[in-house]
């Protein structure tokens, strides 16, 4: 990927024969169609919306492109948002509100009922699964419901910007074209879950299959081709260009995993009664201090600040 508009490649979808991609950051929502032969931008859909931190891309049941403005590294947003870009007509902005306070998230799916499905990015505890009760209508905010959680198994795949921590941080999501596979990705792997009847919550309670995606500078994008090929994409980082790579036949692997016990939730940290009142927040709601130090160091190494 050598087009500067996609240096921070964060979302991918395949729709109607086209491969669409977007970067996170920026002051305007833009989604670019790219040529598979050379990754050149050949078309763009845009909206005059100044986003906070766009992170993922999904396709709705009517073929519209959904941009997930979900990033919240400091966990201080009162609402997040999705911006819907139809093939024709005006863009639609829908604000969404978590039921339990702010979360950072980089993964968005849209189910067959047109409901946004958000998977949060958590350190030291399972990711939260959230969706709206119905398809959002109007700017909102529309309440999100917590419908489950997802703890990924361990991985020994190398790569990404934050070492071993990144093997469980969810940075993107995708659905297969036939709706039978749901996938999430981390900085190092894709995890494929069999799905039946469009039930995403039930899908994420199945045993997943791991597809290693090693040595990506900062892998955040994932999509499926109609033939089941899994596409993964990475940001450009420290001069190493991101690439879009394909794993042929990956969708057919879903459902072949042996049951794997997920990680237990991190234990709640109870601060000393004499500790300052800010300590629970500094501990990240249960993450151990060592993990936080590693995350802080990794954030410093990223060499850039996201908006907000």
Number of H helices, E strands in the chain: 3, 19
Q: What pTM does this model have?
A: 0.83
pLDDT for 258: 59
Q: Judge: domain 4-253, CATH 2.115.10.20.
A: yes
In the chain, DSSP assigns E strands to 9-15, 18-23, 29-34, 41-47, 56-59, 65-69, 80-85, 92-97, 105-110, 116-120, 127-132, 142-150, 172-175, 181-185, 189-194, 209-212, 219-224, 230-234, 244-247
Q: Which residues contact 273 (CB under 8 A, 6 or more apart)?
A: none
Which residues of the chain register pLDDT less than 50? Answer: 260-308
Would you state the pLDDT for residue 273? 39
Helix/strand/coil for 6: helix
How many residues are listed for the chain in this entry?
A: 308
pLDDT of 292 reads 29
Domain boundaries, the chain: 4-253
pLDDT tens track for 99-136: 999 999 999 999 999 999 999 999 999 999 999 999 99
- Convert the pLDDT of each residue in 180-197 to its tens digit: 999 999 999 999 999 999
């Amino acid at each position: 990927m050598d087009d500067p508009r996609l240096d921070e490649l964060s979302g991918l979808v395949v729709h109607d024969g086209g491969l669409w991609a977007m970067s996170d950051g920026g002051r305007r929502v833009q989604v670019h169609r790219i040529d598979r032969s050379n990754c050149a931008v050949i078309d763009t859909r845009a909206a005059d919306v100044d986003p906070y931190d766009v992170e993922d891309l999904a396709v709705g049941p009517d073929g519209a492109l959904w941009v997930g403005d979900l990033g919240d590294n400091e966990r201080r947003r009162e609402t997040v948002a999705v911006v819907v870009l139809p093939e024709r007509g005006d863009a639609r902005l829908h604000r969404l509100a978590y039921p339990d306070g702010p979360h950072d998230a980089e993964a968005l799916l849209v189910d067959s009922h047109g409901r946004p499905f958000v998977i949060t990015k958590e350190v030291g505890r399972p990711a939260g699964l959230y969706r709206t009760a119905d398809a959002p209508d109007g700017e909102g905010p529309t309440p999100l419901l917590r419908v489950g959680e997802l703890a990924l198994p361990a991985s020994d795949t190398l790569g990404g910007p934050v070492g071993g921590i990144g093997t469980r941080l969810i940075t993107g999501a995708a659905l297969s074209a036939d709706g039978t596979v749901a996938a999430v990705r981390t900085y190092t792997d894709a995890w494929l879950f069999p799905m039946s009847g469009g039930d995403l919550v039930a899908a994420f309670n199945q045993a997943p299959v791991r597809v290693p995606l090693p040595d990506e500078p900062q892998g955040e994008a994932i999509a499926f081709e109609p033939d089941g090929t899994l596409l993964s994409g990475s940001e450009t980082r420290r001069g190493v260009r991101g690439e879009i790579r394909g794993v042929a036949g990956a969708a057919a692997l879903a459902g072949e995993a042996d049951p794997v016990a997920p990680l237990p939730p991190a234990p709640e940290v109870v601060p000393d009664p004499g500790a300052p009142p800010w300590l629970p927040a500094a501990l990240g709601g249960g993450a151990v201090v060592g993990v936080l130090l590693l995350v802080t160091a990794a954030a410093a190494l990223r060499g850039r600040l996201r908006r907000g």
